[in-house]
Chain A
């Protein structure tokens, strides 16, 4: 989902960066609040960040015959809220842009909007919807992480389509082309990310129930921990 350095025209790069900035600030504030009020959860926070770090480094083969990578942002979005994942995704993307020439500084805003904002918020919304619909926790986590991952790649495809409309069929035409590369390749990988997130969720319920409870108190609503008695 990384739009390469210089591959968005200056105006687009600037608009996406400006759009992403307030979310980053919100993420920094939220992280500060969590570390101040619930310092015991900081290790879990680190582990969620590490999960995104690992998954976004793994380029996996897809049935389309090309490679892409998961994002790992769904897990943290469900546990700590989307703003935290905006911050973590910003760190990951910066690392990759500076050291790996993967993505870029001019496209950082756009990439962050896809991976750190749309993805986590979609995952979070799907999680809330799944819980409201009474789905089991693993099923909800699976849907949430899978959709969050897919949403990230759809966003990237649309960002490129807006910047490079097809000379004949316009934005819709080029959206089709970019989606064919990004979204279709991503479907199996999104499912893999969903499954990995479920595995981590199962493990956390068994081993970290107290931390999950503290997180729920912090966020003031029912989260993962409500399902602890089921596990």
Chain B
């Protein structure tokens, strides 16, 4: 079952979509777990203040999502290049072998 990529990827997609239909989690706020951890810190040690703050913060959520998208796009681009190159090489090799067979 796990050798079938169509099955594997569909299953992954279903798990990602699950929270939107599950009654228990449908109404969640879907905020980041990192921020929630910050809130727990505030509750455990009310006097704690971060002793440094980030020296540059994206000016808005839009800019932040732009940078996140950029990160994903750069990675995807490289993966796509690698995947295409490999697939092309394998197919070239296969058609080469087929021709050799046909000749002999």
Binding site for B on A (CB under 8 A): 1-7, 9-10, 43-44, 46-47, 49-54, 56-68, 95-102, 104-106, 136, 138-139, 142, 156, 160, 164-167, 174, 177-178, 181-182, 185-186, 188, 191-192, 195-196, 198-199, 202-203, 206-208, 231
Contacts and interface: CB of A to CB of B under 8 A. Distances in A.
A56 B68 CA distance: 9
Nearest to B50: A6
28 contacts: A4-B38, A4-B50, A6-B51, A6-B53, A43-B82, A49-B78, A50-B77, A53-B71, A54-B71, A54-B76, A61-B28, A62-B25, A63-B22, A65-B19, A65-B24, A66-B28, A96-B71, A99-B67, A102-B34, A106-B52, A138-B3, A181-B37, A188-B19, A192-B15, A195-B15, A199-B5, A207-B90, A231-B3
Given A66-B29, A164-B48, A202 B12 contact: no
Contacts, number: 189
Contacts of A64: 25, 28
Contacts of A62: 19, 25
A50 B75 CA distance: 4
A202 B45 CA distance: 47
B2 interface: yes
Interface of B: 2-3, 5, 8-9, 11-12, 15-16, 18-20, 22, 24-25, 27-38, 40-41, 44-45, 48-54, 56-58, 64, 67-69, 71-72, 74-79, 82-83, 85-87, 90
B54 A67 contact: no
Contact of A5 (B11, B29, B52): B52
B5 A203 contact: yes
A62 B24 CA distance: 11
Contacts of A61: 16, 19-20, 25, 28, 30
A100 B2 contact: no
Nearest to B57: A101
B79 A50 contact: yes
